[in-house]
Amino acid sequence: MGIFCYLHVERFWLYTFVATSLVFYFVPTSWLRFLQLSSKPAAYRRFGVHWVNHFTQNGSLVNNVLRRRYPRYRVLPSRAAMAGLRRTTYIQEQFHWAALVLFLLVAFFGVVNAYWGWALLITLANVFYNLYPIWLQQYIRVRLSRHGFS
Which percentage of the chain shows pLDDT scores above 90? 57
Residue 76 has phi, psi (to 5 degrees) of -125, 85
What is the value of pTM for the model shown? 0.86
Which percentage of the chain shows pLDDT scores above 70? 95
- Residue 110 confidence (pLDDT) above 60: yes
DSSP output for the chain: -HHHHHHHS-HHHHHHHHHHHHHGGG--HHHHHHT-S-SSHHHHHHTTHHHHHHHSTTSHHHHHHHHHHSTT--SS-SHHHHHHHHHHHHHHHHHHHHHHHHHHHHHHHHHHTT-HHHHHHHHHHHIIIIIHHHHHHHHHHHHHHTTT--
What is the tens place of the pLDDT at every residue in 57-105?
777 787 788 788 888 776 666 778 788 888 999 999 999 999 999 999 9
- Residue 122 confidence (pLDDT) above 90: yes
Q: What pLDDT was estimated at residue 85?
A: 83
Q: What pLDDT was estimated at residue 50?
A: 86
What is the tens place of the pLDDT at every residue in 39-62?
898 999 999 998 888 777 777 787
One-letter identity of residue 50: H
- Residue 121 confidence (pLDDT) above 80: yes
What is the tens place of the pLDDT at every residue in 6-51?
999 999 999 999 999 999 999 898 888 888 989 898 999 999 998 8
Q: Higher model confidence: residue 116 or residue 56?
A: 116
